[in-house]
Chain A
Amino acid sequence: MTAGEPRAHEFEFTVNGERKTIRAFPMERLLDVLRETLGLTGTKEGCGEGECGACAVLMNGALVNSCLIPACEASGSEIVTIEGLEADPRVRALQESFIERGGAQCGICTPGMIIASVYLLNKIRQPSLDQIREALSGNFCRCTGYMQIFEAVAEAARRMERS
C-alpha cells in the first residue's frame, strides 16, 4: 500500500439498538456500511448526492441522508433504519396507512419516506398538510404525485392520537 492511501479503521456505533463494531474506511458512506457491511438493505440509494432521501435514516434522532454521512462521522452515534422501526406500534400504524391509502407504489422511496414521516410525527403529533408537505420535501417520489402519501401520514397521525 502506498503512503497516503486510506486505511480501514474500526468504528463503533449503535444500529437499531445494537452495538456494532465494524471496519470501514473513514470516508466510506454510512449508506454502504449499512447495506453492505451490515446487510440492512431496507435503506436505498436513489441519487448518491443527498437530493432524493431514499437513503434517509435517523442519526441521534435527526433525519439524515446516509449517502452524505461518512463512517467516521457516524462513529459513536445511534442509528435507526427502517428495519429498526418494526417493533414500534406507532410505526406499524403508519405503515398500515401507507398500504391502505396508496402511499407506496414502486416502493423504492418508501423506507426513506416512512423514516421522514416518523421524524415528523415524533416532532409534531398532529401536523397540518403544509407541515407534512414541508417535512417530506426532501424525499422524492416519482410514482404517487404525493397526494396519497400526505393522506397516509395524516391518517396515521389521527390513528396514533386515538390509540
Chain B
Amino acid sequence: MRANIVGASAPRKEGRDKVTGRARYVDDISMPGMWYGATVRSTIPRGQIRKINFGSEIPWDEFVIVTATDVPGENHISLIGNDQPCLAREMVNHPEEPILLLAHPDRHALPRAIHAISIEYERLPAVFTIEDSEKRSEIIWGADNLFKEYWIRKGELDGIWERAAYIVEGEYFTGAQEQLYIEPNGMIASFDSVDGVTVWGSLQCPYYVHKALMALCNLPEDKVRVVQTETGGAFGGKEEYPSMLAAHATLLAIKSGRPVKMIYDRAEDMAATTKRHPSRTRHRTAIAADGKILGGEIDFTIDGGAYLTLSPVVLSRGTIHAGGPYYWPCVRVHGKAIATNTPPHGAFRGFGAPQSLFAIERHMDRIAEAVGLAPDEIRRRNFLRPGQTTITEQVIREEINLDALLGRALDLSHYHEKRKCFAADNAHAQKKKGMGVASFFHGAGFTGSGEHYLASVVALEGCADGRVRVLVSSTEFGQGTNTVLCQVAAEALRIPYDDVEIAQPDTHNVPNSGPTVASRTAMVVGNLIASAARGLIQTLKAARALGEDYTPEEFRAACRAYVGEHGELRSVSQYQQPNDIFWDDRAFRGEAYATYSWAVYVAEVEVDMRTYSASIQDFVALQEVGKVLNPVLAQGQIAGGVAQGIGFALYEKVEWREGRMQNSQMTNYIIPTSADLPPIRVFFEEQGTVHGAFGAKGIGELPMDGPAPAVVNAIADALKFPFNHVPLMPEDIFEAIAGTPANAACAPEPVTSR
C-alpha cells in the first residue's frame, strides 16, 4: 500500500480542538492552590541599584518576594553566553530588566503591589543607537560593546574598483519589529523535593528551557521537566524568552511551595520581551558595463540590545545572506552585533536574513538605475546558477533556475505591462503606482556545523492499539509541525495518516529533536522521522511480524503483536552530518546550509499623494521550497509570512525613548488587519532537492525575507525616490517627497560612473 499522504492537504492534527475552543493554552490551565506571579522591572536604561523601598500600604506578609539572592544555582539564563542575569542584583542594563518577583494567591493584588515598590538607582550613561555604541565613548558591554563579528572573504578585491564601470554605494536600515503572537508569553511552574521542577508553558524550544532551569536550580536532568502547552503563535518570539519566564515562575514556585502562574499582559510582553534586531547595512559595489557584479564590500551591523542572547547566530545568518541570490566573484562582508541599553533583541522569523536581504534587494534596484537596466534585468544578469559559488564559496549543487522563477513571477504579476502603464499615467495621477521585485533565498536548517552539534534525536513508538506515535521535542505553534511530521511518518510507514499521532512535547517523554527554529523541522526532523520509520519497519519484519507488503490492518496487528510480546516497540534515529559537508567556522567558509529555498516576490503598490500612505494592490509570492508536503499549510505559511513582511515594510514601527518601547499596545503598534492586506497570491515550483523528508526544504522563514524590499522597491518605482529604510511610514514618504525640490529626487548616496 502507498499512503500518498505527503503532498496532500491532510487536515491539521489539532485543528478541531482549535476551532471549537477546546485547545488548552497555558492561561486556560489552573491548578489547585495555584498562586500568580508578577515581575518588578527596571525603569531606567542603565545604572546601579541603590535601594528597594516597599510601600507601607501593602500587606507584604501575604506575598512571596523573590530576589537574585533566592536563586539556588547560577543567576543567569544559559544560552550562548552567561551574561544575562535571571534577576538583576546590583546593576541594570536596560529598561524593563527584571529585578524582583512577587507571588500572591489573588492576581488582582499584584498590580498595586508592584506600584508600591520603588527602586532607587545611581544612573549611568547609556547608549541607544548603533552609531553611539560603535563610538565606544561609553562601554556598556565587554571591552568594546561588540558581541560578535564575522568576516567573509571571497576572492581578492584588487583591481575591481579600477575595472568598474560603475561604483554604487548605499546605506540601508531596518527597524525593530515585534513578533506580536496573539497569545502573550505565559508559564506555570511547580516544585516539590521529590520530582523537582515542572513547567508548562507557551514555548518553542523545550530543551532550551530545560537547560536554563538545570543551571538556575542546580538540579540534574531528570529533576527538571518542561511541557509545552498549546502555543498561540511564536515566530521566534518564544525561542529564548520562555527560558527567562520559566526561571521566574520556578523561583516563585520554589519559594512559595505553590504552583505559580505567570501570564504577561500585552504591554509587558511588548515592552519587555525580544524583538527583531534593528540593522544598518552599507554596500559598496563594483559593477561592470554590462551590469554584472565585479565584487564589493558589505558592512552589516545589528543592534543586539543589552545582552548577548542569540545575537551571534542572528548575525551569522544575516551575514551569510547579505549577498543575496547573486554571484559575487569576490566580496568582503563584515558582520557585527553591537550592544545598546535596550531589552535584548532576539529571534524573529528570518533571523537576520530579512535585514540584510532588504539591503541587497534595494541596492540591486539602485544598481539597475545606475547602469540603466530594468530591475528584473539586473537580477537576471547576476543570478547564482548551479555550479557557481555563494559568498561563502558553497557550490550550488541543486538544479535551481532563478531565471525561470523570475520570469514566471513577472508573468503572474503582469509586471511589464503594468510598469509601462504606470510610467505613462503617474505624472498626473493623484495616486501613483509602482511595481517592485525582490529575489532572494533562505538557508534551511542551522548554520554551518550547527546541525552537527545539535545531533537531534527522534523516536517513533508503536503502540499497543496498533497506532504509531511520533516522539519529538519539535513544537507546534501554528506552523503545522504536528500535521507535517505525522504525514511524513505515515508516508514512510505506508499507513494511514489517522494511524499516526504526535506526543505532547514533554522533556520526560520525548527525545531532544532540537529547537523548533531555523526552518529546520520539516527538512531535518522530518528526515529523521522517515529514517526512524524505516527502522520500525525493519524491526517488525525482522521479528516476522510484518511481510514485504502489508495493509494498514496488518501493520496495526503487527504493532499490537510486537508490543504484546516485547512490551515496547521503538525506533530511534539521530542526525548524522553527511561526509561531504564542509564548513569552516573561523573562516566562515563552506557549506553554510544543507540547502536553500528560493523565491521571487512582486508587489504592486499605490501611493496616495494626498495622504502619502502606501497601499499594496497585488502581491505575488512565488517560491521553490522543494517538495510541498501539505499545500494548504504551505500556502498558509507563505501568506502569513508575507503579511508580517508587509507589516515590517509599512506599518510596524517601534517608538523608542531611552531604550524603552513607548507604543507597547496593539492600539499604537499597528499590524496589518484583514482590511489592509492585498490579495496575497501564493505559488510554488518544485525543482527538486536531495535534502529533507521526501524532498522538502525549509519554508517557515522564507516569506519574511521578500516583502519589505519588494514593497519599498515598488514605492521607489512609483515616486522615483531612493527610499532606504523600513518601516516606511506615510510621514517618511511625505518628508522625502515634500522636502525634496522638484526634479531633484536624486539618490542621496553616491553613484560613480566611470
Contacts and interface: CB of A to CB of B under 8 A. Distances in A.
A142 B18 CA distance: 15
Nearest to B644: A142
Contacts of A140: 182, 666, 671, 673
Interface string B375-398: 000000000000000000000000
B16 A99 contact: yes
B674 A142 contact: no
Contacts of A82: 20-21
B319 interface: no
B5 interface: no
A154 interface: no
A95 B20 contact: yes
Nearest to A139: B674
A133 B180 contact: no
B680 A147 contact: yes
A71 B661 CA distance: 32
A109 interface: yes
A72 interface: no
Contact of A110 (B18, B180, B235, B479): B18
A94 B280 CA distance: 46
Interface string A65-84: 00000000000000001110
Interface stretch (B225-233, B295-303, B336-344, B418-426): B225-233
Interface stretch (B322-330, B499-507, B631-639): B631-639
Contact of B19 (A46, A48, A114, A139): A114
A144 interface: yes
Nearest to B646: A145
Contacts of A41: 21, 24-25, 27-28
Contact of B643 (A86, A100, A146): A146
B23 interface: yes
Interface in B1-59: 9, 11-12, 14-25, 27-28
B574 interface: no
B636 A105 contact: yes
A133 B21 contact: no
Interface in A103-122: 103-111, 114
B25 A150 contact: no
A51 interface: yes
Given A44-B183, A48-B265, A145-B643, A100 B232 contact: no
B233 A108 contact: yes
Contacts of A46: 182-184, 266, 666
Interface core residue of B184, B480, B674 (most chain A CB under 10 Å): B674
Contacts of B639: 144-148
A149 B641 CA distance: 15
A65 to B, nearest CB: 12
Nearest to A95: B19
A142 B632 contact: no
A49 interface: yes
Contacts of B182: 44, 46, 52, 54, 106, 108-109, 140-142
B636 A144 contact: yes
Interface in B603-642: 632-633, 635-636, 638-642
A148 B635 contact: yes
Contact of B232 (A86, A107, A149): A107
A155 interface: no
A100 B9 CA distance: 8
Interface residues of B, number: 57
Contacts of A148: 632, 635-636, 639
Interface string A84-98: 001000000001001
Given A82-B21, A136-B674, A137-B674, A99 B180 contact: no
Nearest to B234: A106
A137 B671 CA distance: 11
Contact of B640 (A114, A134, A144): A144
Interface in B426-485: 477-480
A42 interface: yes
Nearest to A81: B21
Contacts of A137: 673-675
B22 A42 contact: yes
A47 B25 contact: no
A127 interface: no
Contacts of A114: 19
B25 A108 contact: yes
Interface in A30-48: 35, 41-48
B478 A107 contact: yes
Contacts of A44: 25, 27, 182-183, 232
A107 B679 contact: no
B222 to A, nearest CB: 31
B663 interface: no
A45 B682 CA distance: 31
B181 interface: yes
Contacts of A49: 266, 665-667
18 contacts: A46-B183, A49-B266, A83-B21, A99-B11, A100-B9, A104-B19, A107-B17, A107-B232, A110-B21, A114-B19, A133-B674, A140-B666, A142-B181, A144-B639, A144-B640, A145-B641, A146-B674, A147-B677
Given A108-B232, A140-B671, A142-B644, 9 more contacts: A52-B666, A83-B21, A100-B11, A102-B633, A105-B478, A106-B18, A140-B673, A143-B640, A144-B639
Interface of B: 9, 11-12, 14-25, 27-28, 179-184, 230-235, 265-266, 477-480, 632-633, 635-636, 638-644, 665-667, 671, 673-675, 677, 679-680, 682
Interface of A: 35, 41-49, 51-52, 54, 81-83, 86, 95, 98-111, 114, 132-134, 136-150
The 8 A-B residue pairs with the shortest CB-CB distance, nearest first, are A42-B21, A108-B232, A106-B478, A107-B18, A145-B639, A145-B643, A105-B478, A82-B21
